[in-house]
Amino acid sequence: EPEVTQTPSHQVTQMGQEVILRCVPISNHLYFYWYRQILGQKVEFLVSFYNNEISEKSEIFDDQFSVERPDGSNFTLKIRSTKLEDSAMYFCASKIRDQPTNEQFFGPGTRLTVL
């Protein structure tokens, strides 16, 4: 069964460093998303991406964040200068197209720890 994959599973970085989180969405999906979950809190929407551009972003997704689909398979989230409060699980998700169920398929997540 096709699945969303994410690398790395765990990333440790120093405050102020840049990190790139990588995702490979399901191959025939057209809509891509990043969410995050700070420990003990709910899953929060960061950004959605369609047709090579951002379609929606949350207040969390400030200038320190960017997304890119550099080739036909990868979808990346870059944090330019990490802060302690960026420590969280980051989930990538994808969706095939507009469909009645609005189901988004999630990857296993990358745990980002900022020291």
Burial class (CB in 10 A: 0-12, 13-18, 19+), 16: exposed
Number of residues that bind other proteins (CB under 8 A): 28
Give the C-alpha separation, 25 to 106, whole Å.
9
With binding defined as CB under 8 A, does residue 75 bind other proteins? no
Q: How many residues does the chain have?
A: 115
Nearer to other proteins, 28 or 41 (CB): 41
The binding site for other proteins (CB under 8 A) comprises 4, 6, 31, 33, 35, 41-45, 48, 50, 55-56, 58, 91, 93, 95, 100-109
